[in-house]
Amino acid sequence: MTLSLYSDESYMREALKQARYALAEDEIPIGAVVVLERQIIARAYNQTEKLNDVTAHAEMLALTAAANFLGNKYLTDCTLYVTVEPCVMCAGASAWAQMRRVVYGAPEEKHGFRRHGNLLHRRTELVTGIMAAESAGLMQEFFARKRK
């Protein structure tokens, strides 16, 4: 299968790279990238342990980096790619940022925002299941290590 340089899968591969950084640092392996006009403007991974901050989720760090890059809190023309379904906090932040699109890989049954209805901005397009198996695999690997 050949991927376009600008496909959802290619951006999700970049988010997966970020998730692998988290895994290497013994963080929950979730990665995120923010894309504007086919350019990645922000990359992040979970750093809650490293920063001792419960809000240091990949999505939150990526949204902050993207807003700083643009000099604007609104990300209306941006797409957030994240390996796992965002939690309520991260979905809410993407709503406040007015993201154009949110794309995630694996669903998160326990803490995913969709359990609570649609928390995204009313104009945000939601795409799910992109590279879900790879994203779920990293989560399974992390929690298997923790159970040992």
Strands 125-128 and 101-106: parallel
Q: Is the pLDDT of residue 14 over 90?
A: yes
98: left (phi over 0), alpha (psi -120 to 50) or beta: left
Q: Is the pLDDT of residue 1 over 70?
A: no
Q: Is the pLDDT of residue 2 over 50?
A: no
Sheet holding 39-45, edge to edge: 39-45, 31-36, 78-84, 101-106, 125-128
Q: What are phi and psi of 112, to 5 degrees?
A: -70, 150
Q: Which residues contact 2 (CB under 8 A, 6 or more apart)?
A: none
Domain definitions of the chain by residue range: 8-143
Annotated catalytic, 25? no
Which residue among the candidates 59, 108, 109, 141 is catalytic per the annotation? Answer: 59
Structure tokens at 27: 């963080």
39-59 average pLDDT score: 98
pTM of the complete model = 0.94
Q: What is the pLDDT of residues 79-109, one digit of tens each?
A: 999 999 999 999 999 999 999 999 999 999 8
121 is in an annotated binding site: no
What topology is assigned to 8-143 in CATH? Cytidine Deaminase; domain 2 (3.40.140)
57 is in an annotated binding site: yes
Tell me how far apart the alpha carbons of residues 87 and 90 are, in angstroms, rounded to a whole number. 5
Q: How many CB atoms lie within 10 A of CB 20?
A: 15
Q: What are phi and psi of 76, to 5 degrees?
A: -65, -20
78 is in an annotated binding site: no
Q: How many CB atoms lie within 10 A of CB 130?
A: 21
